[in-house]
Amino acid sequence: MDRITIAFRPVGAAAEGDLVVFVRDDLVPVGGGQPAALAELIRRAAAAERFKGKAKAVMTVPAPAGLDGIASLHVVGLGAKDGAGPDWRLIGGAIAGRVSGREATVLADLGEGADALAAVAEMVLGARLRSYRWDRFKSKKPDADEAASPTRLTFAVADAAGAERADAAGLALAEGINLARDLVHEPPNVLFPEEFARRAQALDAVGVEVEVLGEEDLRTIGMRALVAVGDGSAHDSCVALMQWKGGAPDEPPICFVGKGVCFDSGGISIKPSGGMEDMKGDMAGAATVVGLMHALAARKAKVNVIGAIGLTENMPDGKAQRPGDIITTLSGQTVEMVNSDAEGRLVLGDVLWYVQDRYKPKMIVDLATLTGAILVALAQEYAGLFSNSDELADRLIAAGRKSGELVWRMPLAPAYDKLIDSKFADMKNTGGRHGGSITAAQFLQRYVRDGLPWAHLDIAGTGMNAPQTDINKTWSAGWGVRLLEQLVRDNYEEA
Ligand code: BES
Ligand code: MN
Ligand code: ZN
């Protein structure tokens, strides 16, 4: 059952349940349709509570005098009257947090036109993201009362029909993000590579064509690097290829590639045990690609898109690859595998090569929880962005600002190549501690044909163990689905 239901109605009708109203820092209610007694009530309550209307602050007035039929009044701050305007996603999250499990009407008449509709859509998205939980394996649900009665938000707006239409795309996006979060949260005994591929196959329900290459297929094709990563695992490796054909038939696709290491123990170069459980999230890149494909297909985006995910598990056993092994990758380039914990680049190299050959895309973005070093460089605030194209990098940076999922561009340069030179093969799979995220990206670039716009997002910091915010109360925020949906919407869709 959905934890939140959303409805829209025109301003004017009487509210039921709780009432949510907005004020800026002058404490004057905005958003239309306010009962007459409201302004004075807010002024008095704000003085008593020292509520200043700061952005995302919420003041609750239970059983508000003079507001017949209203259980509680929630006054939501929008910040400075002359400021840049609030982040409506976070405002929506703050509302859903406060009225969780209750029914509320939000007075959201923010004026006519596209900006007002967009603001409401953002608020609704924030509310949906805030309401997400992942409690599949809790036999006693921590918030059973809330689960039993979903949050019900009705937005009173100037253009209810318009808001309804705008919300169709917003719902697709929220579903895509929450699907990615589900995948990241699933434990590695449940979500092994072939099970992950089955979850991807479920996208056929929204019109995505999905093809799965099993381990035998991968061997036949020659994706030896990807297969080598999974050699120590009891589970077979596979690749899921997702295709959404929303654009003109002759238009080359854009392509998204995800690292899907369902569990990364490090392999023979085994990781320390403390915190190793987090490595169930080493498939966050793949999860983001699946969530993005859902978001685009469910709103019938006018664009041709390929999603390709390399699914495997990195485990140590007698069949596992050894440091010192030399692998011939699909591209024909050879790799001296010196550290089995640098496995993500092996997976991605083969998948990158394969999709370029098969689909002739006009650009590729890959996402991977690739290096701990990106956390050292950027913490969890930005994902690392590496690109051979200034235009694509700028588009991603702009989409990041709009979506709130920020990326910071890092360097690629031939000078770094010497760090991954190998004595025995074309390259080795690590470049040592210094510039660890850069040498990883430099490695990936060797699997991208000259001239093809490509960007790599290192999401080791953002893809798991997510910071708690007004729109995220779980371990995974589904990072990247919003960013890439914005990128596609602003740059690659047909009019
Ligand atoms: N999956 C890890 C990177 C990672 C670290 C993701 C922390 C999320 C949080 C990756 O496969 C890895 O182990 N990278 C090594 C590379 C090193 C051996 C060159 C690392 O970062 O230590
Ligand atoms: Mn690793
Ligand atoms: Zn990994």
Q: Where residue 413 sits, what CATH number does that domain have? A: 3.40.630.10
Residues 135-170 as b/e (b if ≥16 CB within 10 A, e otherwise) read: eeeeeeeeeeebeeebbbbbbbbbbbebbeebbebb
> Within this chain, do residues 346 and 437 fall inside the same structural domain, yes or no?
yes
Tell me: is residue 217 an annotated ligand-binding position.
no
Lowest mean pLDDT segment, chosen from 29-33, 231-235, 295-299, 443-447: 29-33
Strands (DSSP E) found in 331-471: 334-336, 363-368, 383-387, 407-409, 427-428, 454-458
Cα 261 to ligand 2 centroid, rounded to whole Å: 9
> Within this chain, do residues 125 and 257 fall inside the same structural domain, yes or no?
no
Point out the ligand 1 atom lying closest to the alpha carbon of residue 433: 19
264, with CB counted inside 10 A (0-12, 13-18, 19+), is buried
343 C-beta closer than 6 A to ligand 1: yes
| pLDDT 10s digits, 440-473 | 999 999 999 999 999 999 999 999 999 999 999 9
The residue ranking higher by pLDDT, 480 or 112, is: 480
Enter the tokens of residue 230: 């999974």
Tell me: is residue 325 an annotated ligand-binding position.
no
- Proximal ligand: closest to the CA of 459: 1
18 C-beta closer than 6 A to ligand 1: no
Cα 372 from chain centroid (whole Å): 19
Could you tell me if 30 and 23 are in contact, meaning their C-beta atoms sit under 8 angstroms apart? yes
pLDDT(65) > 70: yes
**Confidence band (pLDDT; 50, 70, 90) for 114?**
confident
Tell me: is residue 122 an annotated ligand-binding position.
no
Q: Calculate the alpha carbon distances from 49 to 59, 64, 80 in Å.
A: 8, 14, 18
- Domain membership flag for residue 79: yes
Q: Select which of 9, 198, 199, 271 is catalytic.
A: 271
pLDDT at 112: 80
Enter the tokens of residue 332: 């024909």
| pLDDT 10s digits, 177-218 | 999 999 999 999 999 999 999 999 999 999 999 999 999 999
Determine which residue's CA is closest to atom 13 belonging to ligand 1: 341
**Confidence band (pLDDT; 50, 70, 90) for 32?**
confident
Could you tell me if 62 and 19 are in contact, meaning their C-beta atoms sit under 8 angstroms apart? no
Query: What is the CATH classification number for the domain harbouring 105?
Result: 3.40.220.10
372 C-beta closer than 6 A to ligand 1: yes
Q: Select which of 345, 395, 428, 446 is catalytic.
A: 345
**Confidence band (pLDDT; 50, 70, 90) for 234?**
very high
342 C-beta closer than 6 A to ligand 1: yes
Q: What is the mean pLDDT of residues 261-274?
A: 98
> Within this chain, do residues 153 and 31 fall inside the same structural domain, yes or no?
yes
Cα 370 to ligand 1 centroid, rounded to whole Å: 6
Q: What is the mean pLDDT of residues 77-97?
A: 93
Find the distance separating the first CA and the last CA of the chain, reported in whole Å: 36
> Within this chain, do residues 398 and 475 fall inside the same structural domain, yes or no?
yes
> What rounded mean pLDDT belongs to the chain?
96
Determine which residue's CA is closest to atom 9 belonging to ligand 1: 460
Enter the tokens of residue 260: 């899907």
Determine which residue's CA is closest to atom 8 belonging to ligand 1: 460
Point out the ligand 1 atom lying closest to the alpha carbon of residue 269: 18
154 C-beta closer than 6 A to ligand 1: no
197 C-beta closer than 6 A to ligand 1: no
102, with CB counted inside 10 A (0-12, 13-18, 19+), is middle
DSSP 8-state symbol, 482 = H
pLDDT at 489: 97
Catalytic status, residue 52: no
Count the alpha carbons within 13 Å of 92 in the hemisphere toward its beta carbon: 28
Cα 277 to ligand 1 centroid, rounded to whole Å: 13
Query: Residue 98: which of 71, 67, 66, 69 has the closest Cα?
Result: 71
Query: Residue 203: which of 126, 309, 358, 132 has the closest Cα?
Result: 309
Domain stops at, among 126, 157, 188: 157
Q: Are strands 454-458 and 427-428 parallel, antiparallel or unpaired?
A: unpaired
User: What CA–CA distance (Å, rounded) separates 398 from 391?
Assistant: 11
Cα 372 to ligand 1 centroid, rounded to whole Å: 5
195, with CB counted inside 10 A (0-12, 13-18, 19+), is middle
383 C-beta closer than 6 A to ligand 1: no
Q: What is the mean pLDDT of residues 266-287?
A: 98
- Domain membership flag for residue 168: no
Tell me: is residue 26 an annotated ligand-binding position.
no
> Within this chain, do residues 22 and 153 fall inside the same structural domain, yes or no?
yes
Cα 280 to ligand 2 centroid, rounded to whole Å: 11
- Domain membership flag for residue 164: no
- In the chain, the amino acid numbered 208 is V
pLDDT at 81: 87
pLDDT(225) > 70: yes
- In the chain, the amino acid numbered 93 is G
> Within this chain, do residues 135 and 183 fall inside the same structural domain, yes or no?
no
- Domain membership flag for residue 167: no
The number of folded domains in the chain is: 2
pLDDT at 1: 55
> Within this chain, do residues 106 and 251 fall inside the same structural domain, yes or no?
no
- Domain membership flag for residue 319: yes
Tell me: is residue 343 an annotated ligand-binding position.
yes
**Confidence band (pLDDT; 50, 70, 90) for 83?**
confident
- Domain membership flag for residue 166: no
Q: What is the mean pLDDT of residues 110-124?
A: 90
- Domain membership flag for residue 188: yes
> Within this chain, do residues 483 and 359 fall inside the same structural domain, yes or no?
yes
Domain stops at, among 125, 157, 189: 157
59 C-beta closer than 6 A to ligand 1: no
Neighbours of 201 (CB within 10 A): 15
> Within this chain, do residues 131 and 205 fall inside the same structural domain, yes or no?
no
> Within this chain, do residues 431 and 370 fall inside the same structural domain, yes or no?
yes
313 C-beta closer than 6 A to ligand 1: no
pLDDT(145) > 70: no
- Proximal ligand: closest to the CA of 266: 2
Point out the ligand 1 atom lying closest to the alpha carbon of residue 271: 13
Cα 418 to ligand 3 centroid, rounded to whole Å: 23
pLDDT at 338: 98
Cα 340 to ligand 2 centroid, rounded to whole Å: 7
> Within this chain, do residues 199 and 97 fall inside the same structural domain, yes or no?
no
The domain of 14 spans 4-157
Domain stops at, among 99, 124, 157: 157
The residue ranking higher by pLDDT, 62 or 146, is: 62
- Proximal ligand: closest to the CA of 276: 1
> Within this chain, do residues 110 and 179 fall inside the same structural domain, yes or no?
no
pLDDT at 475: 98
Enter the tokens of residue 13: 């009708």
**Confidence band (pLDDT; 50, 70, 90) for 146?**
low
Catalytic status, residue 300: no
Substitution site in 370, 464, 465 for ligand 1 pocket (most atoms within 8 Å of beta carbon):
370
pTM of the predicted protein model: 0.97
**Confidence band (pLDDT; 50, 70, 90) for 75?**
very high
pLDDT(147) > 60: no
pLDDT at 356: 98
- Domain membership flag for residue 220: yes
282 C-beta closer than 6 A to ligand 1: yes
